Amino acid sequence: MRRFVLALAVALSLVVIAPASGAEPAPPRPALHTCDLGMPRPFRCGHITVPMLRSDPSLGTTKVAFAIRHRGDAGRPSLGTIFAMDGGPGYASTAKPYAASLIAALGPILRRRDLVLYDMRGTGLSDAVDCKALQGGLIQEPIAIGECANQLGPAFAGYASAEAAEDMNQLRRALGLGKIFFYGDSYGTFFGQAYAVRHPDTLRGLILDSAYPGDDPYYRTLLPAGRDGLLIACRRSPACEGDPVARLARVVHAFHQAGRSTEPLIDFLLEAGTLAPRSYLSLDEGDRRFLAGEPRRLNRLLAPGPAGEDLSEYSNGLAIAVECNDYKTLWDKNAPFSQRIAELSAAIHGLPRDFFAPFGRQEYILSSAARLTPCLYWPAPPADGLPPAIPSDWRAPSTFPTLVTAGQVDDVTSVREAHQVAARFPRSKLYVVPDRGHVSSLYFPFRSPAVGVIRHFIASH
């Protein structure tokens, strides 16, 4: 591991502006200590204390943690500070896998720029939400989600993007910083938009890597993007012939005939964009062998992985809270459970029968892989409601540039969704990463074409 020791004077070099006369005084400066995130070079870590829900002080406070990696060249003035947050929601930005990938992706950009890894409330070092049954996959997910809501009590409403955006601005001010770059990937792009809604004047630049608009309760882009990814990956591979989508449809039909659940197929396809295009080609090879009477490879591909994830890297409780508080649903969030079920049923039957082909509409929507039903069991919002993370009619001011990326074969966050996000920012540039999937800059930081584009964007602003 690379290691270095930072003097307090270096830590204080983060200060780039002082509050203007008459401005709101900065929050207390957080104490910093050297911390080991499993990286070759230690960070300086700290935390601030924030209200759990700013509209209800009776709910108390929570901790928001961060880690600072100071610029490599301390002998010259800083060229700015980059705040970064991982996606999910639920992933910790201070976890080693994220930190290592991000530092590799940014590379020489960090020689004269400080990096702040921001753990969103409820993740990582920020009082991670630990709903044990949900986190460990110990019981059925709907029951575990209900238990998690009961565990959080009224504080469930505080785990939302709007509150977390205010947290990050409070941290920025506590560190004495002026305008910042923000880098977010996947859900981090949704959060980045929520931050831009509230604090556009604090942004020097915004990077939304594999952008997500968060405006469709059906997530209608996922399956078409998965089918397109299969076609594109096959077309570009000499070993792949014929129509991979037709092959998938034949496999789905065979599963139906055998009374076998297609849940693992839906799950794999909707996640295939993460390691695309290799994942698409693996699925198609499994389909081909299955149809040839050799099911072993497909069965192995679809076998469930180990249940549960390390809380230090991912909080399932935080993920479900943010999804249910912020994302749109197919029912009225204020409705009782019985009415929610009726509204969900009406939503399903309002779609064409082949809308999610080769899967049936009910088969697809009610699958846990499609992530459309977990919030059925989540509490209704507080009586005074929750502010929308991103108002439906919001458009950014033209005060800062924005880079929006999308992998060409990504089905987790699609190219179509990236276009929707870019339209919200008048000074945006959309870059479609050729033949790549979800957040390829972090999964393949030494090979993805997105890396050079991100570095150039930061360096030129």
pLDDT digits (tens, 9 = 90+) for 155-205: 999 999 999 999 999 999 999 999 999 999 999 999 999 999 999 999 999
The percentage of residues in the chain with a pLDDT greater than 70, rounded to a whole number, is: 95
Q: Please answer whether residues 99 and 445 qualify as being in contact, where contact means their C-beta atoms are separated by less than 8 angstroms.
A: no
Residues 6+ apart with CB under 8 A from 278: none
Q: Can you tell me the distance from the alpha carbon of 248 to that of 64, in angstroms, rounded to the nearest whole number?
A: 45
The encoded tokens of residue 60 equal 């108390």
Q: Which residue has the higher pLDDT, 4 or 187?
A: 187
Question: Is 376 contained in some domain?
Answer: no
Asked whether residue 195 falls in the same domain as residue 287, the answer is no
Distance CA 317, CA 23 (A): 37
> Which whole number is the average pLDDT over 22-44?
86
Looking at the fold, whether 133 and 174 belong to one and the same domain comes out as yes
Regarding beta strands 61-69 and 43-51, do their DSSP bridges make them parallel or antiparallel, or are they unpaired? antiparallel
Instruction: Report DSSP letters for 104-152, one per residue.
Output: HHHGGGGGS-EEEEE--TTSTTTT----HHHHHT-S-HHHHHHHHHHHH
pLDDT for position 23: 59
Does residue 15 sit in helix, strand or coil?
A: coil
User: Could you tell me if residue 324 is inside a domain?
Assistant: no
Residue 40's pLDDT band (boundaries 50, 70, 90)?
Answer: confident
The answer, yes or no, to whether residue 131 has pLDDT greater than 90, is yes
Provide the domain count of the chain: 2
Per-residue pLDDT tens over the stretch 382-421 = 998 999 999 999 999 999 999 999 999 999 999 999 999 9
Reported as a pLDDT band with limits 50, 70 and 90, residue 217 is very high
Query: Is residue 306 exposed (0-12), middle (13-18) or buried (19+ Cβ within 10 Å)?
Result: exposed
User: Residue 292, Cβ neighbours under 10 Å: how many?
Assistant: 8
CA distance 290 to 87: 35
Nearest partner of 109 among 3, 9, 4, 207, judged by Cα: 207
Domain limit, last residue, from 342, 370, 398 = 370
- Mutual orientation of helices 278-291 and 263-271 as an angle, nearest 10°? 150
User: Based on the domain organization, do 293 and 258 belong to the same domain?
Assistant: yes
**Quick one: 393 and 417 in the same domain?**
yes
Question: For the ranges 106-110, 133-137, 443-447, which has the lowest average pLDDT?
Answer: 133-137
- Determine the pLDDT at residue 11: 35
Residues 21 and 93 in one domain: yes
> Would residue 356 count as lying in a domain?
yes
Give helix then strand counts, H and E, for the chain: 17, 9
Question: Torsion over CA of 267, 273, 275 and 279, rounded to 10 degrees?
Answer: 60
Report the alpha-carbon distance of residue 313 to residue 53 in Å, rounded.
24
The residue segments making up the domain with residue 276 are: 224-303+331-370
Give the other-Cβ count within 10 Å of 457's Cβ: 21
- pLDDT at site 185: 98
| 428 assigned to some structural domain | yes
Q: H-helix or E-strand containing 264?
A: helix 263-271
455 and 343 part of one domain:
no
Domain co-membership, 94 together with 16: yes
Q: Are residues 258 and 120 in the same domain?
A: no
Same domain, 201 and 242: no
Q: Is the pLDDT of residue 428 over 50?
A: yes
Token couple for 62: 């929570």
Mean pLDDT score across all residues of the chain: 92
Is residue 175 within 8 Å of 340, Cβ to Cβ?
Answer: no
Residue 389: CB partners within 8 Å, gap ≥ 6? 160, 161, 162, 165, 190, 191, 193, 194, 197, 214, 326
Sign for the pseudo-dihedral over CA of 51, 55, 57, 58: negative
We report the CATH number of the domain holding residue 137 as: 3.40.50.1820
Task: Supply the pLDDT for residue 15.
Answer: 35
Tell me, what's the pLDDT at 257? 96
Asked if the structure places residue 318 within a domain, the reply is: no
